[in-house]
Every structure is written in structure tokens, then in C-alpha cells.
Amino acid sequence: MSGWGRKVFWKTVTVTEAPEGFGIALDGRPIKTPAKAPLLLPTRALADLVAAEWAAQEGEVRPEAMPATRAANAALDKVSAQFAEVAEIIAAYGETDLLCYRADSPVELVERQALAWDPLLAWSAERFGVRWAVTSGVMPTQQEPETLGRLAGHILRFTPFELTAFHDLVAMSGSLVVGLAVTEGIAPVETLWDVSRIDEDWQTEQWGPDDEAIRLTLHRRTAFLDAARFFAACRC
């Protein structure tokens, strides 16, 4: 959003096309990132998503209401320059993946986790040729280096735009497997979000809702769904 004031001054938002990608223009003037790089998107679907956010602004520009624009800026200004480092950070989630850490009681929670998480671990094991170590209670576990290496290799094949979205999918869910399942379309995105919330939902059922926890959950869910939408647009 570099160079633009806080006030909405434009009348038209258009998607432009060039050999390098798709851009966004406000009254014919191309948008740049905060680092003053051209805001060029890899697909028309992603450009349409970003353009719609700009077209929806009224009165004053509200960056908090522009998740696709923020993600595109991050991909161009930050992730592209630190791609290997970002990929390594995300791959590290596999060492303590949420789905590998189970409750040992009560039986209802144990069964709920197994019903939701076992199929995803089985899918990822077959899809990526890995083996997961699963533990319960407070005992930690270690994943095989080969497992982590295979998953890291897959992550390194993402584009900077895909990796930006994937980061949020993994960080919001706490699970590399859930994030990968979103990118592969294994189940509806909302279902995969619910899968990542089994422990929290169980606690809410036992002790009742907490206003601050609800607020944080809604924020994280929105970020998760926004990231899934951004990733999908990268593939269109």
C-alpha cells in the first residue's frame, strides 16, 4: 500500500495484465507494496481477490479488512527474500504436530481425537511416504528425520505466495498435517479447522465458554479461512 494515503480517493479498481503477472490499478495507477515493489500476483484469481478488497474500501483504507492484500505484500516483501528460512520454520511444526499428541483420558476425548486425527495422519503417511510417532499424556516424542525431511522437501516446492498462506494455515491450526490437508483439498476447510479445535472445544464443553477465548478463536478461524482462500487462488 506504499504511497497511498489513508483516505479512499479512487473511483475505479482494475486488474492489469503483464508478462510478469497481474497487477492492481487505482484509477489507472498501479499499486505497490510497502517496500515499493510492484504488486504483481501470479494468477488472475488472486488478483481478483486483492482487487475486490480495494474496491470494498469506503471512507478510509482499513488494512485489517484486506487479508489478501496483506498476504500478497508479505509474499513479495518478506517471504520471497527469506524463502528457505520461512519454509524451515513451518516445517519445524512437524516435530510437535498437534495430531501426534493425544490425551490419555477421559475416554470420550481420546476417542474423539482418534476419530478425527487418525485418518489425517494415515492420509499424510501414504501421500508423503512418512511415518508418524504418536504419544499420549505428557510424554514427548520425536519424529524420524526422514519424515521431517520429506515434508520439508514438499514445502520447499511451494511458491512464495503459497508459502505465505501455508504459514498461516499451519500456525493457526498448530498442525502441519492439517495445513497440508487444506492445500490438497482433503476435506472442507471448515471441517479441517474444527479438527484442529478438538481439545479446545472439549474444554469449553467441560467448563463453559470464556469471552476472551472465544474472541481469540474467532480471530484465528478467520485468519485460517482467509489463508485457505488465498492459497486456493494461487492455484487457479
pLDDT digits (tens, 9 = 90+) for 167-195: 999 999 999 999 999 999 999 999 999 99
Cell of 148: 521431517
Cis peptide bond prior to 106, omega within 30° of 0: yes
Q: Summarize pLDDT for 104-138 with one digit per residue, the tens.
A: 999 999 999 999 999 999 999 999 999 999 999 87
- Average of per-residue pLDDT values in the chain: 95
The yes-or-no verdict on residue 4 having pLDDT over 60 is no
pLDDT confidence of residue 2: 44
First-last CA distance in the chain: 24
pTM of the model: 0.94
Q: Could you list the beta-strand ranges (E) of the chain.
A: 13-18, 21-26, 29-30, 40-41, 101-102, 135-136
Per residue in 30-88, pLDDT (tens digit) is 999 999 999 999 999 999 999 999 999 998 999 999 999 999 999 999 999 999 999 99
Secondary structure (3-state) at 168: helix
Three-point CA angle 181, 186, 190, nearest 5°: 80
Q: What is the pLDDT of residue 139?
A: 82
Torsion 203-206-209-210 (CA) sign:
negative
In the predicted structure, residue 1 carries a pLDDT above the cut 50: no
Q: What is the DSSP letter of 32?
A: B
**What pLDDT does residue 209 have?**
87
How much of the chain, in percent, has pLDDT values that exceed 90?
A: 90
Task: Please report the domains of the chain, with CATH numbers, ordered by start residue.
Answer: 13-65 (3.30.2180.10), 82-234 (1.10.3580.10)
Residue 197 scores a pLDDT above 80: yes
